A and B are shown apart, each in its own frame.
Chain A
Amino acid sequence: MIWILLQRFGFLVVFAAFFCLFAAWNPVFLQGGNLLNVIEGSAVLMIIALGMTLIVATGGIDLSVGIALDFGAAFAVVAMKSYGMDWFGAACAGLIGGSIIGLFNASLVIGLRVSPFLATLSTFFIGSSVQRIFTNGGGPISHRRMPEEFRNLAIGDVYGVPTEAVIAIVLVVLYFLILERSIWGRRIHAMGMQRSAAIIAGIRVNRILLLCFIAASVTCAVGGLIAAANIRMFTPLSGFSYLLDAIAAVFIGAALHPRGRPNVLGTLAGVLFLGMVANGLNLMGLNFNIKDALQGIILVSALALAVAQQRARNRLVS
C-alpha cells in the first residue's frame, strides 16, 4: 500500500513526510517567519539553479555557475568601490562581468567543440585562479559604504516580500515562459534531446547554445549581485558552494518530469526541497557534520523514487 503510494506520488510523499517530520519535531519549523526564511534562503540557489536548468536543457552541464556568480559580485563591488558607480551602473557592470563567463564557455563549446562538462570545468579552474590573483590570494573585497539601493537587493522588500525572493520569482516566471512555453524553449529542448535531429530540422543549434550560455551566466551574476549586497563584500570563490546543490535541484526536477527533462517547475521543487531539508535539519539541532550525509541519502532516495514513479507511469501508458 505504502509502496504503491510511493510509486505513484513518490516525491510528493517524501516531501510531505519530511515536512510533517520537521513540523512535529520542532514547531518553530511551521512558523511563518521560518518558512519565509526557507524561501528567502533559497533565492540565490534558485537563481543559480535556473541557469543550470537552461544549460542542462541544451544537453550540457555548467560547472562554472559559481564563477559567474563570483564575477557578477566582483564586478559590481569593484564598480562601486573603485569607480564610484551608482547602484544601477554597478548592477550592469556585474551582469556584464557574468556574461564574460558565458561567452568564454560558449567559445570553448562552439568554437573548439570541447564538451560542455570539460569546457565549463576549465572555466571553473581558470576563473578560480583569476579571482585569487586579483585578490592577492583570496581575501575578500569589502565595501562598507555600499549605496542603500544596492543593499536593498538583498535586505530590502517589495510590499513586505524580501527583494531577493521577488527577483527569484520574477526570474522563475521568465524562465518558465521561455523554457516551457516559448518557441525558443521548444528548440532548446529539441536540441537537448536529439541534437542531430534538431540540426536537420533547420534549428541553429550553435546560436542557441551561445545565447543559453550567456543567459545562464548573466542569471548567475544576478545571484552574485544579491550575495554581494547581502554581506557588503565580494568573497572570492564563494559561488562554488551553490554548484552541487544547483545540479542536485535540476536533476531532482528532471526526475519529476514525465519525460525526465530538466524543467523550471521541477527545479523550483528541487530547490525548495533542499532548502526545507537544510532548514529542518538545523532546527532538529543535529550535528552539522551529518547534515550533508543526510542530504545525500535523502537525495538518492528521492531520485530512486522518482525513477520508480516514472516506470510506473510508463507501465500505465503501455
Chain B
Amino acid sequence: MSLQCAFSLQGVTKEFPGVRALDNASLDVRIGEVHGLVGENGAGKSTVVKVLAGVYQPDAGLVKIGGETLSPLTPDSVHAAGIRFVHQELHLIPHFTVAESVFLGQERSHRLGLDNKAMRENTKAFLQSMLGVDIPSNRLIRDLTTAERKLVQIARALIDEVAKVVVFDEPTAPLASDEIETVMSAIRRLAEQDIAILYVSHYLSEITDICDRVTVFRQGKTVKVFDTITEHSGRDLVYAMVGRNIADMFPAKGDRAKGPGLEVTGLSDGSAFADISLSVEKGEIFGIAGLIGSGREELIDTIYGLRKAQTGTFQLEGEPLIIKSAAQAVDAGIVLVPRDRRHDGLVLSMTMAENVTLATLDQNASFGLENRRLARERTEAQITALDIRPPNPDTVTRLLSGGNQQKVILARWMVTSARVFIFDDPTIGVDVGAKSEIYQLINDLAASGACVIVSSSDPVELQGICDRIAIMMRGEIIGELQTEELSVDELVSAITGAKYIKNLTDVN
C-alpha cells in the first residue's frame, strides 16, 4: 500500500431544500487501500457517492483524482477518469450468461459480429486473475449464488481494466453470512492490485474486518478519520458515528420469567427442520441463532403458520393451540415482525395509520365502515409511545427510515392483545441509534409480561438482548445457552459449530 492519494473530496457542500446533506465534507482515499465510509442513515454517505458519480453537482468543493481536479463533474467524466461503482442492487438479467452479463453494453466484436469466444475467455481470465474465483463464463446468472452474482457485477464494472477507484455501496447487503467472505476476499485482491476502494457499509464488523482506514460522517460532516483499524475499533466507530457512547446499547436484563408461555413440541416441516421443541416463558426473551440454511427462518415461518407443519403441537399458556395460518396465529395472540419489512411487514404505499390499524380494523369500525378518526387517534398514541418519526399518521410508510418502518410494524401489534412477539432479524438495515431504541422496545415488551422470541443472524444482538439462546444447525436445535455467562465469541463458535459448547443443556 502506498501513501499516494487516489482521489479526494475537499470541502464538499451540497444542499437540498431544507437539508444540508453535505457540509464541508472531505474524504481522502489512497491507492491500494480499502477505505471505509460509515455513518448513520442521513449522515451523507449516499450523497457523497452520488456527488462522486457526477449525479449531484456539489454547491461547493472539489473532487480530485490523482491530484487533478475533475471538472466538469458528470457521469461521463467520472467514468473516463476511471471511477467505477458497484451498487447495492444487482441489476443482472437472469437469463444471460456470465460473459454476456459482464460485457453487457460493452460487447467485443470482430468482423462477423459479436466475438463471443473472446468475451467468454476474457471473462474467465478476469474472474480468475482479478477476483480469484472460478465461475464458468457460460453459466446462466439465475444458476449462480448471490455472492457469485455480486462478483459478476464487480467484473462488469472492471472488465475494461481502466478502473483506478471502485466504490462499493453496501456490497454484502443481499448476501447470506457465509457468502460474505467470498466477496470480501475478492475486494481485498482488488486492493492488492493498486486499485483504491471506497467501501460504504452499515455493517461495522465488515468495516473493521476489511478496511485499512475509515472516514466517519455525521450530519454531513467528516467527523473523524481512523488511520488504523483493528477488530476492536467497532466501539470507537460507533462513538464517532452517533456522537455518544453506546455502551448501554442493550437494556439491562432481569430475572423476568413468569410462568408458561409458548411451548412448541416436536415440530417438523418435513424438509428444513425436524423435531424442534422449545418453550418460552412469559416475560422472557428467547433467542434463536443459526446460520442461513440452519432452518431458523423456516422454523419461524412454521410457528407463524406461513409454512405447513408436518408434525408438532403448540401450547400457549398451557392451552393447546392449532396454528395452520398466519391469521390463526394472530388470533391466538402470536405476532411476527418479519425479516423483510419492506416486502412482508408493511404495505408500503399505505400510510402509517393504515398500516398500524391493519390487524385491528374491526376495532375501529361500526357496521363494517371504518372510523378513520379513531384509527388516526390510535395511531397517534402509538407514534408518541414508540417515538416514530415523522410524527404524522398520514405519512406513506415507503418514505420512512428502516428503524421507523420497524416501529410501525411493532405499533400494529402493540394495539392488538398479542401475547407472543416474534422478531425475525429485527434490526437488519437499521442504523445504530434506532437499533438501540428497538432493543429497548423489545425489552419493554418482555418486562410487560409478553413472550418474546428473537431470531437473528447477529450474534452481538442475540447475546445483548436475550435471556436464553437456542442454537440451530442443520434443522435441529443443538443446544440452549444462558446468555449471562456467555461471550459473543463463544456464541459465534457455537453457531458455526466451530467449538463444543460448554453449559450446553440438552433439550431433546
Contacts and interface: CB of A to CB of B under 8 A. Distances in A.
Interface in B320-336: 325-327, 329-331, 335-336
B302 to A, nearest CB: 14
Given A197-B347, A198-B347, A203 B358 contact: yes
Interface stretch (B136-144, B182-190, B364-372, B495-503): B364-372
Nearest to A196: B344
A132 B344 CA distance: 45
A190 interface: yes
B49 interface: no
Interface in B124-146: none
A193 B347 contact: yes
Nearest to A182: B368
A85 B382 CA distance: 58
B349 A193 contact: yes
A181 B362 CA distance: 13
A145 interface: no
Interface string A16-40: 0000000000000000000000000
A311 interface: no
B369 A177 contact: yes
Contacts of A198: 347, 358
Contact of B343 (A184, A194, A203): A194
**Looking at chain A's contact residues, is the secondary structure mostly helix, strand, loop, or mixed?**
helix
A197 B346 contact: yes
Interface residues of B, number: 30
Interface in A197-238: 197-204
B345 A200 contact: yes
Given A201-B358, A202-B330, A202-B359, A190 B347 contact: yes
A73 B98 CA distance: 57
Contacts of B346: 194, 197
B349 A181 contact: no
A201 B412 contact: yes
Contacts of A178: 368
Instruction: Determine the interface band of chain A, counting residues with CB < 8 A from chain B.
Output: 20 to 34
A183 interface: yes
Nearest to A261: B349
B344 A186 contact: no
A201 B370 contact: no
A259 interface: yes
Interface in B281-324: 304, 306
A41 B404 CA distance: 50
Contacts of B325: 204
A181 B365 CA distance: 10
Most B Cβ at <10 Å: residue of A181, A193, A197, A204: A197
Interface string A98-130: 000000000000000000000000000000000
22 contacts: A178-B368, A183-B362, A183-B364, A183-B368, A184-B368, A186-B361, A190-B350, A190-B354, A193-B347, A193-B350, A194-B348, A194-B349, A197-B346, A197-B348, A198-B358, A200-B304, A200-B336, A201-B359, A201-B412, A202-B326, A203-B359, A204-B325
Of all A-B residue pairs in the complex, the 9 with the closest CB atoms, nearest first, are A202-B330, A183-B361, A194-B347, A201-B358, A204-B327, A182-B368, A196-B344, A183-B365, A202-B327
Interface of A: 177-178, 181-184, 186-187, 189-190, 193-194, 196-204, 259
